[in-house]
Chain A
Amino acid sequence: MNHSHTFSLPRLWAIVVKEFIQMRRDRLTFGMMIGIPLIQLILFGFAINSDPKHLATAVHVADHGPQARSVLGSMKASGYFDFIREVANEAEGERLLATGEVQFLVTIPAGFSRELLRGEKPTLLLEADATDPAATGNAIAALKIIARSALDNDLKGGLAFLQSGADPLELRVHPKYNPEGVTQYNIVPGLMGVVLTMTMAMITALAITRERERGTMENLLSMPTKPLEVLLGKIIPYILVGYAQVGLILLAARVIFNVPMVGSLTLLLAVAMLFIIANLAVGITFSTLARNQLQAVQMTFFFFLPSMLLSGFMFPFRGMPGWAQMIGELLPLTHFLRIVRGVLLKGNGFAEISGQIWPIALFALLAVVVGVKRYRRTLD
């Protein structure tokens, strides 16, 4: 009987063994198979929280009566609001909202306690940065319940009549920047950052490894070229590609999704340049580390996954635990998202976003330095 025509278990086994040997020798692929599930477990299991609590809140208190204190105390007790700043006036609070330092601004108007005791239903004003509806929704819903029950202890005995029937105070919520809570207003501008992160880093990561794999690197190195010439020469064409992507997304945001564009497009395009360069530089750095194109793609993936999950694109940034927020702060996408949303939805100017620009610049600089250092002029 001719065995080569039948299914052979030893042959099958030989292939299985060979695959395992190759898998073991390809450390990065092996790392990816173990690393990706681990990263996802940690991120989805611990870092991501669709019911964000402890949201940064500023208070503007113009009344220091005991009832005002009770209301604030109950808000704090709910776990949704962390009072991190007390502001002296409305304008200061507005600025904190615009820069994104706080998610909420609570205003207790003058005469709050007095009006409350007179049964005049004073107003409790909550202004929310609603660019990301998911981040604010639960807190606002919780506040509606708090407003009803916060004064239960204060309004007892002789004051119990204030409690009967309607609410003792009027809660007024201003969801700013995205009053209808349209998710697309948050997602579509964010996509700009996500698309750039993925494509820009990937394209340049392949750029140098491709030269190495095809053997053209040897030739390039034997000619009188300087590292910076090669690296910049590979970055510049893709800056244009990046801008084409930005233009496409802005157009879609405007025409298809009707995303409001309050701020200056010129400012946004200028900052986009920095962000594009940061991602291209990361890709270049990967390509100097990777030995082949597959490794370059894998490295890009390791960069892209945390960027996507920890930047506040998919899940509210403030809902994540401290360590995850810290990682997020290191990633350029996190800052770019704040800039895009800030400029488009809040009408932020340079002053409000400057705090987000320098981390991107620092990241880009670091990536370029590592890339240039790692780029070898020889084949050693």
Chain B
Amino acid sequence: MEPEFTIDVHGMTKIFDGKTVVNGMDLRMRRGEICGFLGPNGSGKTTFIRMLCGLLHPDGGSGSCLGYNVIRESEKIRLESGYMTQRFSFYEDLTIAENLDFVARMFSLPGRRASVEAALEWLGLANRRNQLAGELSGGWKQRLALAACMIHKPRLLLLDEPTAGVDPKARRQFWDTIRTLADGGLTVLVSTHYMDEAIRCDSLAYIAYGNLLVHGTPAEVAGDSTLEEVFVRLMDGVEDSYH
């Protein structure tokens, strides 16, 4: 049975060398929701995402992700979620097809070849399949990474600043793709610094210094002013209270 919330976690905490990087964060996301994860650099966005997919062990917190216990069942969460890292983390010295095939094997996909073909087709790179991934431009690398993260048809997609360093046109295309996927039931948590991307999200979570400051729809968060103004105000407020 599909749980009501794809992500439902409470008090997620991570401490590195005595420094609290994520401080008791709660987050709930419904199926098919796109949640924009906002906040300054070093605010704990990446750490939070890594805790969700089991790459980091939380120092505190509980809850579920895809219906699995977020602390104890990270293996199962890994199998059904796709995580796209901030930095391109596929093999630059493998070709596009080889990278996709590797990921497909890692997930032991039945009908592996067909999945790889479908991914190549979806990417529109079927005719460049034998090109090294390292030779691709930023926008194409990011599309390849997305295709690789999606090859096992995950129910949850975690995207860590997927559009950093990508040109505006490619960014728009990327978001069109994300929206299509979400309409099909995929839940997406995506961190970003771009306000034009934030507006396209179903909900926004703004974090700073490891604390969740605001959570709501873009309209709720913005109120009478623009999102940008709200965030600058939030930043100023937080900095005042921390310094």
**Other-chain residue from B56, B89, B107 in contact with A224 (beta carbon distance below 8 A):** B107
A214 to B133, CA, bound (A): 13
A222 lies within 8 A of B56 (CB): no
A217 to B106, CA, bound (A): 13
Chain A contacts of B79 at CB under 8 A? 224
The yes or no answer to B122 lying at the interface (CB within 8 A) is no
A222 lies within 8 A of B83 (CB): yes
The residue in chain B whose Cβ has the minimal distance to the Cβ of A222 is B83
Chain A contacts of B50 at CB under 8 A? 379
Tell me which residues from 44 to 65 in chain B have a Cβ below 8 Å from any Cβ of chain A: 50, 53-57
**Other-chain residue from B78, B91, B92 in contact with A222 (beta carbon distance below 8 A):** B78
Chain B contacts of A223 at CB under 8 A? 78, 103, 106-107
B106 lies within 8 A of A215 (CB): no
A223 to B232, CA, bound (A): 37
Instruction: Type the 1/0 row for A199-243, where 1 means its CB is closer than 8 Å to any CB of B.
Output: 000000000000000111111111111000000000000000000
B55 lies within 8 A of A221 (CB): yes
CB distance from B131 to the nearest CB of A (A): 18
**Other-chain residue from B55, B83, B92 in contact with A378 (beta carbon distance below 8 A):** B55
The yes or no answer to B88 lying at the interface (CB within 8 A) is yes
The residue in chain A whose Cβ has the minimal distance to the Cβ of B50 is A379
A218 lies within 8 A of B85 (CB): yes
The CB with the most chain A CB atoms within 10 A, among B55, B79, B90, is that of: B55
Instruction: Type the 1/0 row for A82-119, where 1 means its CB is closer than 8 Å to any CB of B.
Output: 00000000000000000000000000000000000000
A219 lies within 8 A of B85 (CB): yes
A220 to B91, CA, bound (A): 10
Instruction: Type the 1/0 row for B82-98, where 1 means its CB is closer than 8 Å to any CB of A.
Output: 01010111111000000
Chain A contacts of B91 at CB under 8 A? 216
The yes or no answer to B75 lying at the interface (CB within 8 A) is yes
CB distance from A101 to the nearest CB of B (A): 50
A224 lies within 8 A of B106 (CB): yes
A380 lies within 8 A of B56 (CB): yes
A219 to B91, CA, bound (A): 10
A364 to B49, CA, bound (A): 38
B92 lies within 8 A of A218 (CB): no
A residues within 8 Å of B by Cβ?
214-225, 378-380
Besides A224-B75, A225-B106, 13 more A-B contacts (Cβ < 8 Å) are: A214-B89, A215-B88, A218-B85, A218-B87, A220-B106, A221-B55, A222-B53, A222-B54, A222-B55, A222-B78, A224-B78, A379-B50, A379-B56
